[in-house]
Amino acid sequence: MSIYTQSIPCIDLNLFMFGSAAEKSQFVQNLGNAFETIGFVAVKGHLLSDELAGKLYESAKSFFSLPSETKLQYEIEGLYGQRGYTSFGKEHAKGQSAGDLKEFWHFGQDLPFEVELDRNDYPDNILVKETPEFNTAGLEAYMHLEKTGIYMLRAIALYLGLDEFYFDAKVEYGQSILRPIHYGPIVGEPVEAVRAAAHEDINLITLLMGASADGLEVLNKSGQWIQVTALPEQIICNVGDMLQRLTNNKLKSTTHRVVNPPRALWNTSRYSIPFFMHPLSGMSLACLPSCVGVDNPKHYEDCTAGQFLDERLREIGLKK
């Protein structure tokens, strides 16, 4: 289908956090409607300031501009890209062979010493010596986006007819990831690869800070690719595969891609910073009973979030 620009619904998280009962209820309904029609929603009133977002973008650009040999020191074997640096072409979309035209960094959960969880699921964050401001801004942004994600999941729980706090204990100390991405200048004619091939996210929900350039396209429920850009003071939120499994396709994971720019802009970079909201590895992704019925039989085998994540990391090439 042709690509066109369509405004996506915008909702104000302040109405959910601080509004009246009626305003909170309307927020929940608007969120659910957006997910069931377009698949993405713009969110203002979130907990990440534009100032901090700006600092993170500037420090990410400083990191990615370092020499390749310096960055490669932070690509640690055995971490499967879950912390630190991942170089160009290492990751590909599920079902694709060509590596995406991107390099990225992962900040993860800093697990307090007193929390009794499997430490193998929580490798230490890697700190960059050359750009210390990248570490500071990244870890601070992680906390604000995680808090925002918790509120979004509370609204989703209400939309699904669950207790508002259904997800809270399941995502506290979850395996969420903040991923600053650099899509580098395109050198030579790409045969197959694009900046990010069409894919769905692995996690429960994704929160996306405004990117530095156009390129994100979403496949809406009518089968049309639409261009999506976050405006100032907004982040974009979409459903991931884990939430799709949990809701037995009531809330479907949104297919999206990042296309190559016009040839005249091949010499430019693009930066993007998504936050992937993951639960604890032991969370069951068994379909919710309320989402299974005669008209919608169970589509998925039971599994845990950890099992699903492990399988997907192998499918996208980060784990062998």
Q: How high is the mean pLDDT in each 10-residue block of the chain (320 residues)?
A: 57 97 97 86 93 95 96 90 87 60 92 86 94 97 97 98 97 95 74 66 91 69 77 87 95 82 69 94 95 93 93 74
Would you state the pLDDT for residue 213?
A: 46
Residue pair 44/53 in contact by the 8 Å Cβ criterion: no
Rounded to an integer, what distance in angstroms lies between the CA atom of residue 198 and that of residue 102? 14
Rounded to an integer, what distance in angstroms lies between the CA atom of residue 240 and that of residue 244? 6
Q: Which residues pair with 227 in a beta bridge?
A: 5, 217
Residue pair 265/41 in contact by the 8 Å Cβ criterion: no
Q: Amino acid identity, residue 172?
A: E
Would you state the pLDDT for residue 254?
A: 83
Would you state the pLDDT for residue 315?
A: 77
Say which residues have a Cβ less than 8 Å from residue 69's Cβ, sequence separation at least 6. Answer: none
Q: What is the greatest pairwise CA distance in the chain?
A: 58
Would you state the pLDDT for residue 265?
A: 64
Residue 85: name the closest of 20, 134, 121 by CA: 134
Domains of the chain by start residue, with CATH: 3-315 (2.60.120.330)
Would you state the pLDDT for residue 98?
A: 58
Residue pair 207/238 in contact by the 8 Å Cβ criterion: no
Say which residues have a Cβ less than 8 Å from residue 67's Cβ, sequence separation at least 6. Answer: none
pTM, rounded to two decimals: 0.89
Rounded to an integer, what distance in angstroms lies between the CA atom of residue 320 and that of residue 313? 8
